Each structure stands twice: as C-alpha cells, then as structure tokens.
Amino acid sequence: MKGNCEQLLDYFNGTLSNEERDQFEAHLLSCEECREELKELEELTGDLPYLSIPEEPPAGMKERVLASVFESDMVESNDITNESLSVEEKNNVTDLQTERKSKQKKWVAPALAAALFLSLAGNVYTFVNEGEDEATQPEEISSLIKAVQLQPSEAEASAGSAALMNEDGKMNLVVEVNDVAETEGDQVYQVWLLEDDKPYRAGFFTPNQEGKGEVAYQVEYEGEHEWDAVAITLEPDSKSETPKGKIVLSSGL
Amino acid sequence: MRELNDAELYDKVQAKDKKALSSLYDRYEKLLYSFSYRIVKDGGLAEEVMQEVFIKLWKGKAQYSEEKGKFSSWLLTMTRHTAIDLLRKQSKEPDFELDERDALHSDEASVEDQVEWKERGQILRTAVSKLKGDQKKIIEMFYFKGMTHKKISEEFDLPLGTVKGRIRLALKHLKTSLGEKGGVSDERKL
C-alpha cells in the first residue's frame, strides 16, 4: 500500500481530489503507520496558526460575511419554485422518495427527478457582493450542465436520473436510481460515461433493500470530452474497466 | 447565564440558529482572518476565505464531531484548507516568499488582542527564527502554502520519499525549540 502512504501530506493539506480523499480515508483505517504519522503532523502543526500576526479585520466584514451566508440560503429558496419543498435537509428529499416509491411506478421517475433537482439546487450558491471590489471576489457558482431521465432497458422496471454539474470547474456526475434488482456477492452497478462509444468509469453503487441507489462522481478524465451518453450496467465487481454486464439504464446526454 | 462552549454553539448553528453563528463568528473572527491572511496574503482574499468558511459551517458542508478533537483545531484546519484551496484557484503560483514578519516582533498589532495568542505567537516566532533557512522554507511551503508533496520535492530537489521526513524534522526542530522556551503546546493542554 506504499502508493497510498505517499498521499499523507496531500491529504493533510486537503489537496487530494474527493475520490482520492475517500480512498485515502479508507486506507487510513487499515494503515496504522499513516494514522500515527497523521496524528503526529496534527500535533506538530497545532500551534502554527498562532504564528499569524494579528490582523485588524476590515470594517464591516462581519456584516458582509454573515449577509452572504444567509443570502446563500435565499439563493437556494429562489431557485426552488415550490417553497414547501425547500431543501432544508436531504432528509426531506429522502422522505419524498420513500413516500412516493410504493405507488405507481410511473410516478417514480418524475419524483426522483424533482428530488434530484432539489438536492442539486442545495449545492448551488452564489456569493453576492456588496460594494466590494469585484476583482477580489469572483462569483462562485456550481451550475447544472445537464439533467436527464435514465431509460430502462427492455423488461426492466427501473427508473433513474442523472445530472452533470459543474462545480468550481470540476465536473460532477450525480446518479440516482430506483427499483433496480438486488446485487449478489461482489456485484455492483457501474455507471459509465460514453464518448464515441468508448466507456469511461463514472462511479458505482450497490442499491439498498428497496432497490434504491445513488452515487456522485467527480469526472476527472484528462483533456476535453464530449460525453454522448450515460449508462448503468450490472458488473461482477467494482473493478470492470469495460462493461461486462448488460445495460440496465441509460440516456443520451 | 453560562456562555455556550464552541461545540454547543456549533450544534445550534446546525439547527440554523443565526445568533449562534454570529457568536461563533465573533469568537473567531480575528484569529481566522489573521490566519487566512497569513496564507493568502491579501485582505480581499482573506475575507473571501471567511465567507466560505462560514458558509460551510452554516450549511453543514463541513461536519464537526467531538471525535475530531477540539473545535478550534478543527475550525483552523478547515480554514487552512479553504484558504489553500482559494490560493490554488487563484492559480497565481503561490510564489514562495519567506514571511519575514514571522521573525519580527509585532508590537504594532492591536493591543487588545487575546493575550494568550500574542504570547504564544511571540514564543513561536522566536522559535521559528532559530530554524535553518531551509527548514523555515519547507514549513512555509507545506503548511502555509499547501504545496503538494510532488511540488515540494521539485522545489527542494528532494526525492519524493524523503519529503515527509524533511518536513517532520523541521517541525520537530521547531517543537524542540519551543520546548526550551517553556513549551506553549503543553500549556495549551491545561
């Protein structure tokens, strides 16, 4: 596991990608040496913030900062037409899904799409400036690039949706599905992004007992890509580099 | 009425209590701002760091729990990560410069600062001033600039495998030197 141990410094500095960070955290569980080194780093650096020379905060910063914090909530609510569904917590979204799930299947997909959109809207925030030099405070936006309904392959009763979104220049793919068959053993549902029929791995999940699954994946393939489609297949394990199973759900992008 | 401690305030913030956020803000404004400033070296950017940090707190995007240690340490780490992230996004290659002010006294800084911070800071600065140039530099690049493992190895012309050891050594020297001065971090634990 040498490779992982080498990431300790970057993990400590928070410069790993989300995926790398998750992997490293998993690694930490099994590597006592890294755990100890990390602890030591934390102890050795614990005082360093106090090296900072006390700076006088600029006048009115508190008002500006708190205003932008509370405005970030407002921005959310404005984005959401239905106030009663305003994304207080993800729990609401989950409740919504559970409530609707047992009913007719036809309703599932739109409900999911709505839920997905809500949970995405929750991630969208804009810093609104108040009379500050805008050059120093660029807008921070995560934007929805595309959201699609996933279509089940023949004879499948599944439904789902996928959304590509841009967050600080990084692309994330968020997928949610409903009513997919249970997996067995090491099986996982693998999500793929397709470009010119070439599949790229884009996260995997195993559904819960109710047949629901979701995954958010940070798309980090080098170079420019024009994704044509998103597809989900059932794979024997999470290691498939190319799809081995048949497509369960898919959609063009 | 007893003042709420940090963790209690944090819990209230999670329940969307605006007053609690405001109290936490007051408690940490100066420390976090100064720390952010120390990293990004620009007032406007430091304020942006503050915004992001408090938005993360408010929206629960960064989750604190007691097993993560002291709230203040967690908050400082979160601030450091946010500041480093912003530096990277600015992508003006954080051109490295020793912060000479670390080696100087800062008596001109506002008088009513938390005494503890001031004392701790002075002891730290004295200890830093005793480090060798390269050791100061590696702490600066690693901790305050958040440079990657790889970048540091290039900058110092060190094999990847020895970077960690060098950083550790520099930090340990600093700690030893602090120990001679009466050990700030030991006091802190009281």
Note whether B114 and B175 are same-domain residues: yes
pLDDT at B11 over 80: yes
The answer to whether A248 and A180 have CB atoms below 8 angstroms apart is yes
pLDDT of residue B166: 96
Residue A98 has pLDDT above 70, yes or no: no
Residue B95 is given by DSSP the state -
Q: With CA atoms as reference, report the closest residue to B16 among A70, A5, A247, A50.
A: A70
Strand-pair category, A247-252 with A229-235: antiparallel
B-chain residues near A137 (CB < 8 A): 44, 47-48
- Tell me which residue of A119, A113, A112 sits closest to A88, measured CA to CA: A119
What is the architecture, at CATH level 2, of domain A61-252?
Answer: Sandwich (2.60)
* Alpha carbon distances (Å) from B177 to A52, B75, B112, B132: 18, 26, 28, 12
Q: Cβ A42–B149 below 8 Å, yes or no? A: no
Of A9-23, A136-150, A170-184, the poorest mean pLDDT is in: A136-150
| Residue B126's CATH number | 1.10.10.10
Tell me the mean pLDDT in the region A135-155. 67
Domain co-membership, B49 together with B86 = yes
Owning domain of residue B4: 1-92
Residue B173, judged by CB atoms within 10 A of its CB (0-12, 13-18, 19+), counts as: middle
The answer to whether A232 touches A160, Cβ cutoff 8 Å, is yes
Contact A54, B30 (CB under 8 A): yes
Residues B54 and B120 in one domain: no
DSSP states of A74-89: HHHHHH-S-GGG--S-
Three-class SS state of A178: strand
Name the amino acid, one letter, at B110: S
Q: Are A193 and A199 in contact (CB under 8 A)?
A: yes
> Hey, what are A98's tokens?
């559970």
Reading the block at residue A2, the tokens are: 């040498």
pLDDT digits (tens, 9 = 90+) for A49-70: 999 999 999 999 999 999 999 9
Same domain as B2, residue B86: yes
Helix (H, G, I), strand (E, B) or coil at A25: helix
Kindly tell me the burial class for residue A6, based on how many C-beta atoms sit within 10 Å of its own C-beta (0-12, 13-18, 19 or more). Answer: middle
Q: Are residues B82 and B113 in the same domain?
A: no
3-state percent breakdown (helix, strand, coil) of chain B, nearest 5: 70, 0, 30
Residue-wise pLDDT for B85-132, tens only, equals 999 888 655 454 545 455 444 444 444 456 778 888 888 888 999 899
H helices then E strands: how many in chain A? 7, 8
Is there a domain that residue B99 lies in?
no
A161 near A150, Cβ under 8 Å?
A: yes
Whole-number Cα distances in Å, B49 to A65, A126, B41, B66, B81? 10, 14, 12, 24, 10
ipTM: 0.83
Determine the 3-state secondary structure of A116 from DSSP. Answer: helix
Q: How many angstroms away from the CA of B146 is the closest CA of chain A? A: 6
Token readout for A6 is 């080498």
Q: Which residues pair with B160 in a beta bridge?
A: none
Q: B38: buried, middle or exposed (CB in 10 Å: 19+, 13-18, 0-12)?
A: buried
Per-residue confidence (pLDDT) for residue A1, from 0 to 100: 43
What's the CA gap between B187 and B190, in Å, rounded?
6
Confidence of residue A141 (pLDDT cuts 50, 70, 90): low
Q: What is the number of alpha carbons within 13 Å of residue A139 lying toward its C-beta? A: 7
Q: Are residues B53 and B80 in the same domain?
A: yes
Q: Which of A51, A57, A65 is opposite residue B51, by nearest beta carbon?
A: A65
**For chain B, how many structural domains are there in total?**
2
Question: CA-to-CA distance for B58 and B21, rounded, in angstroms?
Answer: 7
Residue B187's closest chain A neighbor by CA?
Answer: A47
Residue ranges of alpha helices (H) inside A31-142 are 32-45, 61-79, 90-101, 105-121
State the CATH number of the domain containing residue B2.
1.10.1740.10
Subunit contact A53:B101, Cβ cutoff 8 A: yes
Query: Which of B33, B102, B144 comes nearest A57 by C-beta?
Result: B33
Same domain, B57 and B118: no
- In this structure, of A153-157, B25-29, B119-123, B145-149, the range with the lowest mean pLDDT score is A153-157
**Smallest Cβ distance to B55: which of A47, A125, A169?**
A125
pLDDT digits (tens, 9 = 90+) for A7-50: 999 999 999 999 999 999 999 999 999 999 999 999 999 999 99
Q: How far, in whole angstroms, is CA A101 from its chain's centroid? A: 23
The terminus-to-terminus CA distance of chain B in angstroms comes to 25
Query: Which residues belong to CATH 2.60.40 in chain A?
Result: 61-252
B23-54 confidence digits (pLDDT tens): 999 999 999 999 999 999 999 999 999 999 99
Q: Which of A53, A86, A141, A142 is the best mutation test for B, with the most CBs of B within 10 A?
A: A53
Among the ranges given (A195-209, B8-22, B44-58), the one the predictor scored with the smallest mean pLDDT = A195-209
Q: How far is B33 from chain A (nearest CA, A)?
A: 7
Asked if residue B13 belongs to a domain, the reply is: yes
Residue of A nearest to B72 (CA): A46
| Shared-domain flag, residues B12 and B88 | yes
